[in-house]
Amino acid sequence: MRVRVTTTALGITAALLAVPACSTDTVGNKPDTTSSARTGKSANAAQTAAPLASATLETRLLDPSDLGSGYLRKQERPTQHDDVDVIGCPALSELGGDAATGGTLTFPHKAKAAFTYGGSSSEVAEELYSASANKLSDGIGRIFDAMTGCPTYQVVSGGTPIDMASQKLPAPRGLGDEQWSQLLTFSTAGRSTVVKQTAIRKGSLLVIVSGSPALVDRHLDKALAKATTTS
């Protein structure tokens, strides 16, 4: 399948992460989900809250002061489009087009930021989306299901073959209303990169944190707390 893909903050890694990001998730089975113990009006209000504007989401992104010393925000690169072939993953092919390798989810209300750490190649990126709870849940769940349904496949981007491996991870319990998590390994030219991606939905907000596994684990809680603040 040949599609057009937009390169995002984490370069080809982020672009491929978006495979789960357009339809969202990464293993053949349905993602593990949990529901917080909310009842009555408070639960209904959270599920039916109006989507937040992109400008509001921007203010809820993590910044270097939230992350601590050693983090620098990456400047967004000019948008560029590459032809991408997805080979050996029928589940992704069935989603079609940008759902297979899109750079960002297609929800209209969104914001994103990416950071480098300690002058090294370690990176962490955050994406925020807002829509109805049902739309967020369906969109992210379908992508994670498709990706995890293909434990190995290949992506050819701009003529460069990238071997992909995906592994479903236990979702972090007790955060938000639904959770998804996966580990992606990108291998090309004898080098491999491991990226963790965790998505948390709380009401009408979706928080996705991607990057070096240790950095994702370190900053996931604070990303969710800031994104869902009501102050």
pLDDT digits (tens, 9 = 90+) for 26-37: 333 333 443 333
Domain, as residue range, for 28: 2-227
pLDDT digits (tens, 9 = 90+) for 179-207: 999 999 989 888 998 999 999 999 999 99
Is 10's pLDDT higher than 60? no
SS (H, E, C) 140-207: HHHHHHHHHCCCEEEEEECCEEEEEEEEECCCCCCCCCEEEEEEEEEEECCEEEEEEEEEEEECCEEE
Q: Tell me the residue length of the chain.
A: 231
Q: CATH code at 28?
A: 3.40.1000.70
User: What pLDDT is recorded for position 211?
Assistant: 93
- Environment class of residue 29 by beta-carbon count within 10 Å: exposed (0-12), middle (13-18) or buried (19+)? exposed
Considering only residues 59 and 43, tell me which one the structure prediction assigns the higher pLDDT. Answer: 59
Is 93's pLDDT higher than 50? yes
Whole-number Å distance between alpha carbons of 58 and 110: 8
Of 140-144, 157-161, 200-204, minimum mean pLDDT range: 157-161
- Mean local confidence (pLDDT), 90-119: 73
Domains identified in the chain, total number: 1
Whole-number Å distance between alpha carbons of 133 and 36: 14
Considering only residues 144 and 36, tell me which one the structure prediction assigns the higher pLDDT. Answer: 144
Whole-number Å distance between alpha carbons of 15 and 128: 16
Global confidence as pTM:
0.79
Q: What is the average pLDDT score of the chain?
A: 76
User: What pLDDT is recorded for position 41?
Assistant: 42
- Count CB-CB contacts under 10 A for residue 30: 14
Considering only residues 44 and 75, tell me which one the structure prediction assigns the higher pLDDT. Answer: 75
Is 22's pLDDT higher than 90? no
Whole-number Å distance between alpha carbons of 213 and 208: 13
Identify the band that residue 78 occupies on the pLDDT scale cut at 50, 70 and 90.
low
- Which residues, including other chains, have CB under 8 Å from residue 29's CB and lie 6 or more apart? 145, 148, 168
